[in-house]
Structure 1
Amino acid sequence: MKAAEPSHDFEQFRDDLEAVERKIAGEIDPGLRALVVAGAIFVLLLSLVLPHAGKTRGFDILMFDTVAQADHIGLPSRVFEWFVVIFGIGFSVLALMTRRWLLAWIAAAGTAISSVFGVLSIWHRQTPGLGNYHGAGPAIGLILATIAAVVLTFHWVRVIWSRTSVHLAAEEQRRIAEKALEEERRRKLFGDD
């Protein structure tokens, strides 16, 4: 009867082990990357008050006010700014605060798309418009925001990949424990001791 006690003990903690594994699977641990991510978020916030083109600031692009219209701010810049605010700032802050894997994944995907729109916005500011119109080129706010979006994308992807290795390690531990339990059951069933 002594052989049945270890399997009973393991069965007692099986639900706890599975709950811990599910918790680990849904969480991230950015480690020191959290400082880089927080710094990039700060740069994105700063870029909202810096000029993007001519006299137009990031907030002007978000509101698409008369200043943005006067500087002929195009669709790529407007899409870029909204992606920066929603994904680069919003989801990144939520992912850092909650440490949820899904939010980090959404932040990574959104900032990757915003990086593309950032580069497209810089290119758009350097291309003549209709009637050979030459507006103000890209300013420091647009360039900093684009670089910060690329940095955020890189670091969120790295955080997501590191989460996978932690999850795999926890899963491997669970497999080893289940294999030991199965071996013990086999021995008990066939009388091998």
Structure 2
Amino acid sequence: MTEPDDQLRDEIDEVGHRASRTVELGGRAVVLAVAVFVLLVGLVLPWMNGASGLEVLIGQETGKASMVPRLFAATALLFGVVASALTLITRRWFFAWVGAAGGWFASVDGVLAIWSRQSSGTAPGIGLIIALVAMIAIAIMMFRTAASRN
């Protein structure tokens, strides 16, 4: 009679282990998905000298002070889009923390990208500003999601 009890105990332990690795997104999932969409829109709008964020990312815009915006484009795509998508799809706590930490790095890098554009004498494009605002929103939502785990 102990064998069915052991199987039940193992099954309950497995369910508890699986639940401990996941996060509940709730209403944050919709806000996060909208912020990712806004970030993607920001990546196709002009960032610098008429070049879009994707053009900056692949290196078509090679001008003075273009490395920091290129790094922001890469980190925004990696942490803002990929990590958020993996978090939304898998609901894994690990991806939420990767997105939170990377999102804050990308947000700081976005501020530096705008600053580098202004210090080089040219105004940042609207896409760069939209992408930064969306990245900050994503970083906040990912941090709140990752920190909500009990």
TM-score, shorter chain, exceeding 0.5:
yes
Higher relative contact order (CA 8 A, sep 6+): 2
> What residue ranges of structure 2 are gaps of 5+ in the alignment?
none
**1:11 Cα offset (Å):** 4.2
Whichever residue aligns with residue 25 of structure 1, its letter is S
Q: What are the within-5 Å matches in structure 2 for residues 144-183 of structure 1? A: 144-163=130-149, 165=150
Q: What are the within-5 Å matches in structure 2 for residues 44-63 of structure 1? A: 44-63=39-58
**1:8 Cα offset (Å):** 7.8
SS in 2 for 1:31: coil
**1:17 Cα offset (Å):** 1.8
Aligned to 1:93: 85
Q: What are the within-5 Å matches in structure 2 for residues 44-123 of structure 1? A: 44-65=39-60, 68-70=61-63, 72-123=64-115
**How many residues align structurally?**
150
**1:148 Cα offset (Å):** 0.8
Q: How far apart are the structure 1 equivalents of 2:101 and 2:84?
A: 11
Deviations 1:72-112 (A, max 9, x none): 34221111000011111111111101111111111111111
Whichever residue aligns with residue 37 of structure 2, its letter is F
Instruction: Tell me how large the CA RMSD over aligned residues is.
Output: 1.8
Q: How far apart are the structure 1 equivalents of 2:110 and 2:74?
A: 11
Using the size of structure 1 for normalisation, the TM-score is 0.72
SS in 2 for 1:52: strand
> What residue ranges of structure 1 are gaps of 5+ in the alignment?
129-133, 166-193
Larger Rg: 1
Aligned to 1:139: 125
Instruction: Determine if contact 1:61/1:73 at 8 Å carries over to the other structure.
Output: no
Identity %: 37
Q: How far apart are the structure 1 equivalents of 2:82 and 2:7?
A: 41
Is 1:126 paired with 2:135?
A: no
Whichever residue aligns with residue 153 of structure 1, its letter is A
SS in 2 for 1:69: coil
Q: Which runs of 4+ in 1 moved over 6 A?
A: none
